[in-house]
Structure 1
Amino acid sequence: MSDEVQPGHVRIRLDLSYDGTGFHGWAKQAGGKRTVQGEIEDALRTVTRTRDTTYELTVAGRTDAGVHARGQVAHVDLPRELWDEQRDKLLKRLAGRLPKDVRVWSLTEAPAGFNARFSAIWRRYAYRVTDNPGGVDPLLRGHVLWHDWPLDVEAMNEAARGLLGEHDFAAYCKRREGATTIRRLQELSLVRGEDGVITATVRADAFCHNMVRSLIGALLFVGDGHRPPEWPAKVLAAGVRDSAVHVVRPHGLTLEEVGYPADELLAARNLEARRKRSLPAAGCC
């Protein structure tokens, strides 16, 4: 599949963040629902004075309704003439036009081969939860989940280690027709801060639908003593959804950062990421 920039256009990388509370997710939807993509594309049309043209964004991670982002990355292809004319003014104009719950921090010409989605080699999320008997700090209530059982972080980390590596995460994903559920989970660890908030760091080459929130749901069941530390790995190996694995609420989840390879490797990664994944046959390699 070709991903070449059309003649006369230039690919622009956007680094952005948003509070997901008031959005129905990243992707545009029918029916006029408010989305991050829709807000940014509307703002671009306004500030570039191209009301009859939509410059469509491609994003690194399509976050669900209520999920936040601190380090989201997207790209858009703009006419070279428009970019050359407005490049020095575009960021400030967007700041004046966008709603306060979404910000674009930088607009830069992307190197050859860059695709915000397919060139990425990892996405890093954080999920924040507290087991404070009094609940969540009111100033953090939109970003931290309250779990009303005491949590054993050591047991959760023990369980997390059994999930690392490349696996078929069908047991932790909402299936989508024609999409693979094979992913490489590179990091899954939890730390309790001085304020009592537990932050789970989850990093993978990519995620399937509801994967992070399902993994956290399983770990919480271990942390509060309802399941032993080996249980999440057994669910993974079984390959089917377990009714005990709950998809936790979205507001505790934030996309923190997206990683990309060196510029000279972007095009190769772009092609590699489009190939459908498979696991080695049993006993192979």
Structure 2
Amino acid sequence: MTDETGESWLADDRRRVALGVVLAVVVLLAVVIGAVWLYSGHLYRTSYESEYTYEVTLATNGTLTNATIYLPVPEATDTADLGAAAVERGTNQSGPLAYEAVETERGPMLAVSAAEWTVTPEYYQFVERNGRGERVEIPESEYDPDDPSMVVNDTRSVSVAVTVPVDRSVDTGTPWAGEPLLRPRIDRRPSDCGSPGPEWRECYAFDAAVYASYDTTSDTEVYASTTLYGTNAWWVFGWSYDEYRDDVTVTLEGPKDGWTDATGTLETDTDQREPP
């Protein structure tokens, strides 16, 4: 004979135990999630940092003499004077080039100059040694342009960069509202981004200018690039960041003595996360 009342009590006990286990798991998960959330907020607040980086790159495939080049420079603000910082302590300053912040008819710019900037081609051949491929330098007399194992490096380049930290969040969404931007610049206008990206990235174009004066051969090319980054970064189980990027790049051909118009690009990040 079955004791239905006893079985009912047993079933009720099992349900109560199961419910207690579920509630315990829910509470434990809530505690863990809350702890992770609090710790993530702590990591975010304590790791959050903001900075500006100004970079200049020059490259040429021919010797330049009596060279002076004026490049766009970020406008000085109460927070940072990146042009002066690049001159005083920019990294990787090498070769015969001199750097100076100057005032021009189009506003402050970075002047790069040299009495002579020599490009000496270097010739190489790829050979196999001990089962490994190596690049070895060879004399010009041995160089054969039709030999695919031989290459020539006929370009000389230099780069200068400086990073300045700031004690506040950088406005990466609307940097024209108070952040330093490259000058000279006029007529900011919306433009297509050069490559696919997140939906919160917005791109703009603007008119800029570069001044160049130097003697060289007609087939010489000079590549000049100036880039400014305004970046916020934080670490929460991995680094994340948002930034704006301001850039002016030109390629000049042959001897020069005057201003060259250029089109700059500005990329902004409208999905900015402010520190709590």
The structure that is strand-richer by fraction is: 2
Per the normalisation by structure 1, the TM-score is 0.20
Tell which structure's C-alpha radius of gyration is larger: 2
